Amino acid sequence: MELLRISKAAKRLGIHPMTLRQWAIDGKIPFSWVGRERRFSSVDVENMKRGSDSATFRPRREVLYVRVSGSSGQESSLDAQEEELLATSTGEV
């Protein structure tokens, strides 16, 4: 087991360090103090990443945005844009 600094743990989870800090304050993820820094167990981070603690883990959410310029028959490109964005999205849409 490795104790991770907040920035490294947040990066592994794909969240901002401030979000992880708030989760620690709220008791959603355990941590240890090392001096004046919070450290997170790599095991706890991996468990949260896998979603085994679904009460505290929120999946990544994505918003898709498609548009056309003007109204000169480009409406069909909206469908193509949407399909491409859906194919490349990695989180909950």
- Digit-coded pLDDT (tens) for 15-64: 999 999 999 999 999 999 999 999 999 999 998 888 744 555 566 678 88
Lowest mean pLDDT among 1-5, 54-58, 69-73: 54-58
pLDDT for the residue 44 = 93
Q: Is the whole-model pTM more than 0.85?
A: no
Amino acid at 75: E
pLDDT for the residue 92 = 77
- b/e for 42-65, b at 16 or more Cβ within 10 A? eebbeebeeeeeeeebeeeeeeee
pLDDT for the residue 59 = 63
Largest Cα separation within the chain, whole Å, is 63
pLDDT for the residue 77 = 80
